[in-house]
Structure 1
Amino acid sequence: MNDDPITAILRLAEIESVMSGGFTAGGDWAVRFPPPDKLKFFAVARGSCVLRLEGEAEDVPMAEGDVVLLAAPRSFILASNPDLPARDAHEFEWLGPQRLVAINDRTDTLQIGGHVRVHPAYEAMLTAALPAWMRIDAAAPEAATMRWLIDRMVQESRDGLPGAGLAQAQLAHLLFVQILRAQMASGDLLPPGWLRAAADPRLGAVLRQIHADPGRNWRLDELARAAAMSRTVFAAHFRRVAGTAPLAYLTEWRMRLACQALQRGSIPVATLARDLGYASESAFSHAFKRVVGVSPARYAPAEALRLSA
Structure 2
Amino acid sequence: MYLDPFSDLLKLLNARSVLAGGLVTGGDWVIEFPASDQLKFWGIVQGECSMAFEGENGAIGIKAGDFFLLRTPRSHVLSSGPCAPVIPLATVLENRKSAIVRHGEGETFFMIGGKVELSDHSAQLLINELPPLIHIRAASRHSASLRWLLEQLVAEQDGSQPGAGAATSQLTHLMFIQILRAYFEGAEPIASGRLRAMGDKRLAPALRLMHGAPERAWQLEELAKSAAMSRATFSSYFKSVAGIAPMAYLTEWRMRLAERLLLRDRVSIGTLSVSLGYTSESAFSHAFKRIVGISPRNYQRERQDRDVN
TM-score of the pair, normalised by structure 2: 0.91
Whole-angstrom distance in 1 between the partners of 2:100 and 2:65: 18
Corresponding residue number in structure 1 for 2:6: 6
Corresponding residue number in structure 2 for 1:245: 245
Matched residues, percent identical?
A: 43
- Structure 1 moving runs of 4+ over 6 Å: none
Q: Shift of the alpha carbon at 1:113?
A: 2.5
> What are the equivalent positions in structure 2 for 1:107-256 lying under 5 Å apart?
107-159=107-159, 161-256=161-256
Unaligned residue ranges in structure 2 (runs of 5+)? 304-309
Q: Shift of the alpha carbon at 1:9?
A: 0.4
Matched-pair contact (CA < 8 Å) for 2:32–2:86: yes
Corresponding residue number in structure 2 for 1:45: 45
Q: CA RMSD in A?
A: 2.1
For the residue of structure 2 that corresponds to 1:93, the secondary structure is helix
Corresponding residue number in structure 1 for 2:99: 99
| Alignment partner of 1:260 is 2:260 | yes
After superposing the two structures, state which structure 1 stretch, 256-265 or 232-241, moved more: 232-241
For the residue of structure 2 that corresponds to 1:287, the secondary structure is helix
Whole-angstrom distance in 2 between the partners of 1:41 and 1:94: 22
**Does the C-alpha gap of structure 1 residues 89 and 146 become closer, same or farther in structure 2, counting only changes over 3 Å?**
same
**Does the C-alpha gap of structure 1 residues 115 and 225 become closer, same or farther in structure 2, counting only changes over 3 Å?**
same
Whole-angstrom distance in 1 between the partners of 2:148 and 2:27: 26
Unaligned residue ranges in structure 1 (runs of 5+)? 304-309
**Does the C-alpha gap of structure 1 residues 210 and 83 become closer, same or farther in structure 2, counting only changes over 3 Å?**
farther
Whole-angstrom distance in 2 between the partners of 1:240 and 1:301: 37
Whole-angstrom distance in 1 between the partners of 2:52 and 2:181: 25
**Does the C-alpha gap of structure 1 residues 19 and 95 become closer, same or farther in structure 2, counting only changes over 3 Å?**
farther
> What are the equivalent positions in structure 2 for 1:269-288 lying under 5 Å apart?
269-288=269-288
For the residue of structure 1 that corresponds to 2:203, the secondary structure is helix
For the residue of structure 2 that corresponds to 1:186, the secondary structure is coil
Q: Shift of the alpha carbon at 1:57?
A: 4.1
For the residue of structure 1 that corresponds to 2:104, the secondary structure is coil
Which AA in structure 2 matches 1:248? A
**Does the C-alpha gap of structure 1 residues 97 and 122 become closer, same or farther in structure 2, counting only changes over 3 Å?**
farther
For the residue of structure 1 that corresponds to 2:140, the secondary structure is coil
Matched-pair contact (CA < 8 Å) for 1:129–1:194: yes
Which AA in structure 2 matches 1:61? G
**Does the C-alpha gap of structure 1 residues 97 and 133 become closer, same or farther in structure 2, counting only changes over 3 Å?**
farther
Deviations 1:79-109 (A, max 9, x none): 1114643211111226779332111131111
Deviations 1:240-273 (A, max 9, x none): 2111111111100000111111111343322221
Which AA in structure 2 matches 1:119? S
Matched-pair contact (CA < 8 Å) for 2:28–2:83: no
Which AA in structure 2 matches 1:274? V
**Does the C-alpha gap of structure 1 residues 211 and 85 become closer, same or farther in structure 2, counting only changes over 3 Å?**
same
Whole-angstrom distance in 1 between the partners of 2:206 and 2:95: 45
Matched-pair contact (CA < 8 Å) for 2:8–2:211: yes
Which AA in structure 2 matches 1:41? F
Whole-angstrom distance in 1 between the partners of 2:93 and 2:216: 54
Matched-pair contact (CA < 8 Å) for 1:6–1:198: yes
Which AA in structure 2 matches 1:183? Y
